[in-house]
Amino acid sequence: MKVKKIKTLKPPRLKQGDTIGIVAPASHFDLEKFNKGIAVLESMGFNTSIPEMLFNKKEYFAGSDLERAEMVNRCFADPNVKAIMCARGGYGSIRILSLLDYKIIQKNPKIFVGFSDVSALLSTLYLRCRLVTFHGPTVTTLGNSDDRTKDSLLSMMTSGDKPKIVIKSGMTIQPGSASGTVLGGNLNTLCHLLGTPFQPDFKGCILFLEDRGEAPYQIDRMLSQMKLAGCFNSLAGLILGNFKDCGDADDIIRIAEDIFKDDKIPIIAGLEVGHGKRNLAISIGLNATLNADLKVLTFHEPATKYIHF
């Protein structure tokens, strides 16, 4: 499917007292973890809008496909909601992609935050609307996140600074420096978008990937499939995030070295994003420079725009 080229949309910056709408596009969630996350958002100075249907359950989903899509559509359409945060990942985001109102979303750009299964939404909102989205904690992981995770989320949503991520404990797999649009998220989820109308386009991009609970051979299989599908053609750079419970970290690095051995691109491992206590917020859809030698990802502009009322 050919996607019409449109200008990148940066969402308005948040300020104290703004309302964050909570949606559940995938699985239902643990109420105790949810309440802890809501308390963190309120301690940051934000109000929250929690729709009644958020607590619906249907099998392993937080309600039917239509209900979950409607939550997202309503939050984007509601002028009182200034940002949107997902309650949980799990599974189900891919099922609502064809039910979203992309015209409403494009007319009402807002901060949209989540990770894991929500990567399907983060990727598609950029693909269809060119909306800059935010790979970061969900409400149910926020309560148990460390201070650096919370600080990075708050800064990304409220600061006018250009984000800069220093991967202190990272490992340079292939040296060099490159610039491009930062895209990425959960490897398993992005791999399952192949062959659909929502397949992402990574040409000229700096791609970051993370995953959880996949054996090394499964990581190899997904990366190999994406390579054979042409997903990595003309890739500018690659960053490996947290691969929790995916075997030995050295195995993941070895797989990446093998898959990308013929690509002269900078590659670094150790970005603290994904399924861990530390899940730094990172914007999707912004241009940045990856320096694998210095282990730094430097964005060229702020993640949000200032709106004067």
How do residues 130-188 score in pLDDT, each as one tens digit?
A: 999 999 999 999 999 999 999 999 999 999 999 999 998 899 999 999 999 999 999 99
Domains and CATH numbers, the chain: 19-144 (3.40.50.10740), 164-299 (3.50.30.60)
How do residues 195-207 score in pLDDT, each as one tens digit?
A: 999 999 999 999 9
Q: Angle 216-228/249-259 helices, nearest 10 degrees?
A: 20
Q: Which three-class secondary structure string do you get for 249-285?
A: HHHHHHHHHHHCCCCCCCEEECCCCCCCCCCCCEEEC
pTM here is 0.95
Tokens representing 235 are 């890739």
How do residues 120-133 score in pLDDT, each as one tens digit?
A: 999 999 999 999 99
How do residues 69-116 score in pLDDT, each as one tens digit?
A: 999 999 999 999 999 999 999 999 999 999 999 999 999 999 999 999
Helix (H, G, I), strand (E, B) or coil at 33: helix
Tell me the backbone φ, ψ of residue 70, rounded to 5 degrees: -65, -35
Q: Are the CB atoms for 183 and 126 separated by under 8 Å? A: yes
Task: State the catalytic residues.
Answer: 116, 210, 275
pLDDT at 307 > cutoff 90 = no
Tell me the backbone φ, ψ of residue 211, rounded to 5 degrees: -165, 175
Q: Which residues pair with 211 in a beta bridge?
A: 243
How do residues 16-65 score in pLDDT, each as one tens digit?
A: 999 999 999 999 999 999 999 999 999 999 999 999 999 999 999 999 99
Supply the pLDDT for residue 3.
42
Tokens 């690095």, located at residue: 253
Q: In Å, how far are 5, 136, 241 from 148, measured between CA atoms?
A: 36, 12, 16
